[in-house]
Structure formats: structure tokens, C-alpha cells
Amino acid sequence: MMLGTGFLRVIGRLKPGITLEQARAAMPSLEQSYRAQHPDKIDSSSVMTLKTLPEDVPGNLRPAFATLLAAVAFVLLIACSNVANLLLVRFSGRRREIALRMAIGAARRSIIRLFVFESLLVSVFAGLGGALLAWQLVPAVPKMASNFLPFDPATPLELSLPVLGFTIALSILTGLAMGIYPAWQSSSADLVGRLKEGGRGTSGSAHQQRFRKILVGAQAALSVTLLAGAALLITSFVRLSRQNIGFHPENR
């Protein structure tokens, strides 16, 4: 231990069976003992703080990470809305095929399972494609970040398997959620009317058209929210870059 230093950050591991609250409760007695043994040291009046590593690492960047997560969630919702709309249009165009399958004895449950499987297949391929893209791009992040952050470009950076598993599971869950409603609506009753449609195209029932309009409205609302947030962020960055820092940084 280096006596008389007040700038050290120590990372430790709790003993088995010891909680964080118990460790924090033991800190005041340790501080008093250190002050009594070394009253002449400069750090005898300092106060030690104990926090978990997940709390300490992000620090004051946690609100920025939360904002970034919200923006990514908005982009995901826009993509989900777009995919659901496309699936609804696609399944509506196959109404006669669905009616023919049900007319020859196919259960509605099997029809829904077939179309949900199709949407899941699309989401699985999309998740694998995203994972492959992340596997190629994540190692290049240190080189890109070193241009504007105090980051060593030689720092090795690997893809986190828990995060990768979470994103793939989210992709599969998204495909499942976005495929159930279009498949359920497209496999509704009225077999005679659908068989009479023949090869004519159809835009779906009034309920489906209303739902598609809601999806389009949701996409527009989320897109406007993201654009407004991006515009405010750029405006704040421009204002900060024009602030007077108190000295002339040229040639320094």
C-alpha cells in the first residue's frame, strides 16, 4: 500500500458471502484506523468510496449510453413496423392460397405456424447477417475511435458472446412478434369470398388496411423523433465547439 496518496483507484473482489453493503459498513472503521496510525499523511482526511465496477466504468456516460440505447430501440421499432407491414401485404396477396389450403382440410393453426416459420426464417438470416457484420466491424472500432477519443488503436477488442446471444434472441423474438399478427389476420375465415377472388390482387380487409396505416404512422412518428433528436444533438455539438475555452490553442 502506498501511504500518503489520495488518487489511487483500487479494484478488489468481495469475499464469498460478503455483500456490498457489509463492505461499505466496514469502510468507516478502516478509515478511522488509518487516520489514527498515519495522522501526518496527506490522505488521512480523505474519504474512501466503494462502488461496483459496473457503476464505476461508465461513470457520467451512463445517460449518454441510455440515450444511445433509446435511439437504437427506436430504429428497431421502425424496422419492426416496416417488416410487419411488408409481411401483412405479402400474406394478403396469398389469401386465395390460404383459403385453398384451408378448404382442403388444413387447420388454421397449421397455416399460422407455416407463415410464422417463414417470418422466423427471415429474422434468423437477418440476425446471422448482423452477427457476421459485427464480427467484422467490432475489431476495427479502436482504430476508428482513436481519431477522436484517447483510445489506443492497438487495444484488442472482441465481440461479446452474451451481447451477441442477446441480439440474436432479440432478432428471433422480433420475427416471431412481427409474424403472428399478419399470419393470424390473413388466415381468418370467409373461404368462399377468397376463393372467388381468383388471381386478382387484393389489398386486404379494412381492418388490415387500418392496421397498416397505424404502422406507417408509427414509422413516421419514430422517424421524426429520431431526426429531431439528431438535430438537437448536432446543434449542441456546434455550440460547444464554438465556446471560448479561455486560451488560444493554436500551435500548442
pLDDT confidence of 150, banded at 50, 70, 90? low
What is the reported pTM?
A: 0.57
Tell me the angle at which helices 108-137 and 95-103 cross, rounded to the nearest 10 degrees: 130
- Asked whether the predicted pLDDT for residue 2 surpasses 60, the reply is no
Instruction: Specify the long-range contacts of residues 69-75, CB closer than 8 Å, at least 24 apart.
Output: 71/226, 71/229, 74/222, 74/225, 74/226, 75/226
Neighbours of 207 (CB within 10 A): 10
- How much is the average pLDDT of 25-29? 83
- How much is the average pLDDT of 155-176? 80
What DSSP character marks residue 190?
Answer: -
Q: What is the mean pLDDT of the chain?
A: 76
Contact 112, 122 (CB under 8 A): no
- Asked whether the predicted pLDDT for residue 149 surpasses 70, the reply is no
d(CA 209, CA 206): 5
pLDDT of residue 144: 74
pLDDT of residue 191: 56
Q: Which of the two residues, 116 and 208, has the higher pLDDT score?
A: 116
